[in-house]
Amino acid sequence: MTQDQEAISQAAGIPALAVVRVSHSYGKRKALDDVSFDIESGSFSVLLGLNGAGKSTLFSLITRLYATRDGTIKIFGHDVTRESGEALRRLGVVFQARTLDPDLSVMQNLIYHAALHGIGPREAKQRAETVLAQVALADRVADKVRNLSGGQMRRVEIARALLHNPEILLLDEPTVGLDVKARADIVAHVRSLVANHGIGVLWTTHLIDEIAMTDQVMVLHKGKILANGTAADVIAGTGALDMRMAFAKLTGTELGE
């Protein structure tokens, strides 16, 4: 997203992502119950919840893997149901499950993905070099994915999600299975995208140490949003000493390490 694009969106008061009264059920089990929140351009926002809270279901609705039946979801004002093409081209996604081809090189993975967005090989190579530099992997373009570490694979997936110049990036538990240093590196890289390129980020996690006090935090528990504000405001609003205690007070459960 260019600075001019960001300024126009902000001036118009249009959220990067608007989720309005969204519900979703699997048979009789309600996975999401009247969920609403906005994500602003150039912000790092966190959807905090335990496994099974409904985070992945919400991502599936935003990305149109599931159809939205109750409520609306808009990306920069474009309804994902009625204007899916316009909405989704503004969106980059990193899912929890790994989806790279381990037998292809880093560059081959990115060029293949770019083709799915209608980007030709020459432009795809240029874009791939640019986004790999953004995630500090410019020196691994020829390496097969299977020879990368878990953290490096995640950074390739982030680079891949940036190929079509999205204005908002969704990451679903992107640090699951990584060691402490790799987790910290991924968080730092994504925060740098927000600071340096104005990309809006929705980051789902159950890990408290990935949250900064100035982040917008939505606490999702059993399909419901129980709190929505900066981490500092959520803590103050619950009378807690820290985010871990605030989560426990709101949900009656403890977050794991």
CA dihedral 113, 116, 120, 126 (to 10 degrees): -30
Does domain 3-90+166-251 bear CATH number 3.20.20.80? no
Residue 205 is which amino acid?
T
Would you say the pTM of this structure is higher than 0.85? yes
Q: Give the domain ranges of the chain.
A: 3-90+166-251, 101-165
What pLDDT score was predicted for residue 96?
Answer: 85
- Over residues 198-222, the pLDDT tens digits come to 899 999 999 999 999 999 999 999 9
Residue 255 has pLDDT above 80, yes or no: no
* pLDDT (mean) for 142-147: 95
Name the pLDDT band for 257 (thresholds 50, 70, 90). Answer: low
Q: Are strands 224-230 and 216-221 parallel, antiparallel or unpaired?
A: antiparallel
Cα 22 to Cα 48, 56, 107: the distances in Å are: 17, 14, 38
Residue 256: pLDDT band (50, 70, 90) is low
